Structure 1
Amino acid sequence: MTNATVTYLFDPLCGWCYGATPMLDRLAASGIALDLLPTGLFSGAGARPMDAGFAAHAWDNDQRIERLSGQRFTQAYLDNVLNVRGTLLDSGAATLGIVAAGVNDPNCRLSALKAIQHARYVDGRDIVTVNGVADVLTDAGMADAAEMLKAPAEALLAAHRELVGRGRALFRRLHANGVPSLAVIRNEAPRLIGANALFGSYDNLIAHIQAA
């Protein structure tokens, strides 16, 4: 792993990214440095209304993700998120909150992502509005990030543009099919690791990282 960076491309509203979180935890716990880059998949032009068709499609996928990863998708999520009409699938606020959490320490992006994912998929909470995300960050002990999110300064907005820009550029360079995607960057040359490796055995994932 010498001279290598492991980069994780994600969107906080991606159920498969939620399913991959236990593997990220194990990588981080093993001492592997992770660089989390949001791709803005479900923000801006990628945001969409939560209609009945999409909700049914998402729930079917979520059940598969739960079987593969052990991550919980609860009745509260089904009732209060998927089955509520008139809301948007929009990761803009959540992504900005994750960037805010990592302003002083990039390692905090993972903690913020996990808090936001748990709030949505387990607790059935709102993480598509600024106030909803700010409440989640505050409850997770990230009150400073919550305050930054509610009144974003230009420095935060610039950091957000830079991170999402890097995420999108790497996504295109890798010709990735979607998120989650994992890349090993060694001597400035990125190599894509298939998303399937995030849902198999940990030893297999490590072997992929070492071989990249």
Structure 2
Amino acid sequence: MVEVRYLFDPLCGWCYGAAPMLDRLRAEPGIDLTLMPTGLFAGDGARAMDPGFAAYAWANDQRIAALTGLPFTEAYRVQVLDGATRFDSGPATLALTAVRMTEPLREIDALKALQRARYVDGVDTSDVEAVGAVLAAEGLREAADLLTGQSAALAEAGRARIAAASAEMRRFGLRGVPALLAGNGDRWRPIRSDALFGDTGLLIRTLEAAASA
């Protein structure tokens, strides 16, 4: 069994682009995949959604679309980039933590639903009520209630997850997301993030080699 840690932020366009590979990795019987949200765009990393940043994000999104074939729709451009006031992954990060606390096997499904809601349906996933509605629509009602109820236990669990992911980023000198770590027990190695956009078989062999080194 190869343990893989996936470091990401739910508002990261490149992390959305890596979603197909994430699906392939979790389908592999020899891969034990753990999500580690870094909080890169939450807290101090959040910012206002102004026209300059919206234009930068849209240009970056077009590069991701060209590489991956994934959609970034007009609804996303108009309703999120031009229509939202904040770029803040805090609500979505807490939502994923709520899912981990209630139905942990569905955390990747929840991440995909949040990404689809944002980039395809044009839902502002910086808004906690909107994020709760996405969870509820996915049948994750307990997680949605935990999120919108502003649970102190959820807030603490969210802080702990971000702290753990941030510690891994510092440990391996990682500066951005998405990022992968592969290992077994106490031995871990970073994997080049561009592997998430290449050949699945090659990535799996790379992960296996890193875990056995």
- TM-score surpassing 0.5? yes
Residue deviations 1:75-125 (CA, integer Å, cap 9, x gap): 11011111125x110000110000001113433221111110000000001
Residue matched to 1:152 = 150
Corresponding letter in the other structure for 1:30: E
Q: Is the 8 A contact 1:48 1:90 kept in 2?
A: yes
Q: Is the 8 A contact 2:172 2:190 kept in 1?
A: yes
Residue deviations 1:32-88 (CA, integer Å, cap 9, x gap): 221001000000000011111111111111111112112111111011111125x11
Residue matched to 2:99 = 101
CA–CA distance in 2 between the matches of 1:76 and 1:104? 31
Corresponding letter in the other structure for 1:29: A
CA–CA distance in 2 between the matches of 1:84 and 1:126? 9
Deviation at 1:177, TM superposition (A): 2.4
Deviation at 1:154, TM superposition (A): 2.4
Kindly indicate whether residue 187 of structure 2 is the aligned counterpart of residue 195 of structure 1. no
CA RMSD of aligned residues (A): 1.2
2:169 alignment partner, one of 145, 168, 171 = 171
2:204 alignment partner, one of 202, 206, 212 = 206
Aligned counterparts, 1:40-189, within 5 A: 40-84=39-83, 87-189=85-187
Unaligned runs of 5+ in 2: none
Deviation at 1:204, TM superposition (A): 1.8
Q: Is the 8 A contact 2:102 2:143 kept in 1?
A: no
- What is the DSSP-based 3-state SS (H/G/I as helix, E as strand, rest coil) of the residue aligned with 1:125? coil
Q: Is the 8 A contact 1:97 1:146 kept in 2?
A: yes
CA–CA distance in 2 between the matches of 1:133 and 1:115? 10
Unaligned runs of 5+ in 1: none
The alignment-based identity, stated in percent, is 50
Residue matched to 1:18 = 16
Deviation at 1:5, TM superposition (A): 1.2
Question: TM-score when scaled to structure 1?
Answer: 0.95
- What is the DSSP-based 3-state SS (H/G/I as helix, E as strand, rest coil) of the residue aligned with 2:6? strand
CA–CA distance in 2 between the matches of 1:105 and 1:6? 20
Corresponding letter in the other structure for 1:115: A
Aligned counterparts, 1:4-15, within 5 A: 4-15=2-13
CA–CA distance in 2 between the matches of 1:104 and 1:122? 26
CA–CA distance in 1 between the matches of 2:106 and 2:160? 17
Corresponding letter in the other structure for 1:182: L
Aligned pairs, how many? 209
Corresponding letter in the other structure for 1:75: E
Aligned counterparts, 1:17-36, within 5 A: 17-31=15-29, 32-36=31-35
